[in-house]
Chain A
Amino acid sequence: MIEHGPLLERMLEGEFICAVTDEHSFNKLQNENLREDLNHFLRPLNRRIAKSEDGSVFFLAYHELTEPARHQLSQQFGVTIQSLLPMLEWMQLVQEALGRDGALTAGDTIKLQEFSLKVEDNQSLRQRLAMLSADKVFKSTSDQLDMQIKQVFKRIRELGYLHQPHRDRQFYIVTGKIEHLIELVRFIKDEENLPLDEDSPEQGDMF
């Protein structure tokens, strides 16, 4: 158990473990026996190891949903929902700027300079980025493109959706946590019966 101490500690601190952030630990966690052992240890803390539906990321969930646990979940859910639209808009922005037609996936690399060059050349992307960076999730007050981009990416890294392998090199890798976010979006869509499958949403843009 001792060898897993550092991993447990990181997970307790709220870290999401995926193949991008820590491949070694991620592979270890694939082992169900180990997960059971760790869960045994986590039990008194009312925690258990959970994974996203597609198995691409591990994190800690509450073992029992006590009143304080629910309270905490409520609060956290509120924060997630608040940052949902900005996150989705950021994903679209990156996707469009870098000319990709699939949504961002764990393991995708984003070079900040490339992104910055693309946005600089495109007035509409520039405006969208400026709007996005001023959102209360990112809170950038700068009107300089460079600073806005840095602030946005820094925040998203703090939120755990991006991994920066080298402190001083400006490139990021999308983490497995983004899969978790997508799962949440899909869940909300199904749960709230949102009419997202038809081709109607674009109509709204006409107003």
Chain B
Amino acid sequence: MNQHSSLFQLGRERLALIGKHSEVLMQGYLNGHIDESALSEAALNKLIDARILWRPDEQAPLSLRPVMGELIASLTRDERKRQINADVAEHLDQIHTRVQSLQAARAKGDYAAAEHHMQLLTERVHDMSGQFGDAIESLWHRLNTEFGFVSSLDDKIREIELAQKQLRRLLDGFGLIDFDQLIALAGSDGSLRKLLVSQLQARISEHSGSLLEVQKRLVLLMARFRQQQERALLVSRMSAFLRQHPNFQIGDYPNRSKVPAVVNQAKEIRAAAAIALDRDSDSSTLAQLARAIPRPEQDVTPTENAEPFAAPEQQLAERVQKKLVEDVENFFIAVIDEGNPVSALDYMNRNDLEWDPEIWLFQVIAEYEGMASDEKRSFRMEKVTRLASRFNQVRIIEDVHLGLRFFGEFQATG
């Protein structure tokens, strides 16, 4: 009893010591070593004596003892550092030894010793199944946070691989538990049977079910991560490829004999309806609608009014084209007015014309080329070009300068 109370005293003191220095210890857990300046010499010595801190070797800084680290990891569910350890063989050996001691004590009739052994045995069995439980819980926790404690996809995949290995080891551990042997060991003793066989069996089958589920989820998650990885690669490589091969021609899928499904995407149809007076029952509703239409302030020309209903893209395109031609003609007139050569892009920008520069230049050139040769002779066009690249001899037109040719002489551009 005396021994008990001194153990109790010591344990209590040391737990209190941990509590007292919790801040420094936790900091040490996170940094990997203890900041010695944060504690007094005496406090440091106390912590070392209490087997909470140690110095792994002469030069190394003080750090937490491994069991302290594990304790904190387990309490805080810190998956980065949490250990999965279910060394079944060790447990089983201990259980064997303990049962033998128990039986020997009983044979001798030493009931105090037998009770002591029984208590240790019970603890041992619960320890074993508790460690399984802990390990499985850790796996679940990691699954449910989708390995959120590491950020990159590669790391997550590695973590899953690690988890799969751990799971494999847990299953191997289960395999080591031979219930026939345990039944033989328990013999006819009812309490031993209950502890070693029926209780343990129930726990193990529960754990196996849980592990099976973990395994399934791991595989699914792995597939998902791999898929994400593959997508990211696909996206980056395809864009790199397209950047490098700007003139790459993609096949004409829509005109193949067998059109791939991924390309088959129907054009939109807008459901339209117009007012119809052929059904009497609707007339009052329609009348209400008609009255609700706000009257236009001034008359709009009827053609424009009809436009939205019948405006196919073509008409729109024609209108845009007409406007473009008109703007280009104005440019030519401006050149005549100006007398000096004018840059087409400058003109466009000066007049706030909203054309794509390429289309604008194209139209200017087309207009020039399309003139009757007589008229053409009175203008002179100079193209400002640059090489597409050092390796590509294609010249890209950047701008054109248009001037008047007076008596065959072109005024030098500025």
Contact = CB atoms under 8 A, between A and B. Distances in A.
A76 to B, nearest CB: 6
Contact of B267 (A65, A72, A188, A202): A72
Contacts of A95: 232, 235
22 contacts: A13-B269, A53-B262, A59-B266, A61-B261, A61-B265, A70-B255, A73-B259, A73-B264, A77-B263, A85-B239, A88-B242, A91-B235, A92-B236, A92-B239, A99-B151, A101-B151, A102-B232, A187-B260, A194-B241, A196-B241, A201-B237, A201-B241
Contact of B262 (A46, A70, A85, A183): A183
A107 to B, nearest CB: 12
Interface in A14-69: 14, 45-47, 50, 52-53, 59-62, 65, 69
Interface in A148-198: 180, 182-189, 191-192, 194, 196
Contacts of B241: 194, 196, 201
A47 to B, nearest CB: 5
A60 B235 contact: no
A23 to B, nearest CB: 20
B251 interface: yes
A89 interface: yes
Contacts of A202: 240
A47 B154 CA distance: 43
Interface residues of B, number: 41
Contacts of A101: 151-154, 228-229, 232
B231 A105 contact: yes
A161 to B, nearest CB: 13
B230 to A, nearest CB: 9
A196 B251 contact: no
Contacts of A88: 235, 238-239, 242
A182 B263 contact: no
A70 B268 contact: no
Contact of A74 (B229, B255, B269): B255
Contacts of A69: 266
B90 interface: no
Contacts of A185: 234-235, 238
A176 to B, nearest CB: 14
A89 B266 CA distance: 26
B244 interface: yes
A81 interface: yes
Contacts of B152: 101
Given A13-B270, A61-B261, A102-B229, A89 B239 contact: yes
B268 A14 contact: yes
A22 B268 CA distance: 18
A84 interface: yes
Interface of B: 151-154, 225, 228-229, 231-244, 250-255, 259-271, 356
A187 B234 CA distance: 11
Contact of A85 (B154, B232, B233, B243): B243
A117 interface: no
Q: What's the dominant secondary structure at chain A's contact region? A: helix
B238 A204 contact: no
A70 B252 CA distance: 11
Contact of B254 (A14, A73, A85, A105): A73
Nearest to A91: B235
A14 B254 CA distance: 18
Contacts of A46: 266
A143 interface: no
Given A12-B269, A184-B262, A102 B251 contact: no
A61 B266 contact: yes
Contacts of B153: 101-102
Nearest to A139: B356
Q: Which of B153, B243, B266, B270 has the most CB of A within 10 A?
A: B266
A9 interface: yes
Given A91-B235, A102-B153, A103-B231, 7 more contacts: A45-B269, A61-B265, A73-B259, A76-B267, A92-B239, A101-B152, A205-B240
B228 A102 contact: yes
Contacts of A52: 262
A110 to B, nearest CB: 15
A88 B235 CA distance: 6
B284 to A, nearest CB: 23
Contact of A81 (B234, B237, B244, B250): B250
Contacts of B252: 74
A187 B260 CA distance: 9
Nearest to B236: A92
Contacts of A45: 269
Q: Which of A62, A77, A136, A194 has the most CB of B within 10 A?
A: A77
A82 to B, nearest CB: 11
Q: Which of B239, B259, B356 has the most CB of A within 10 A?
A: B239
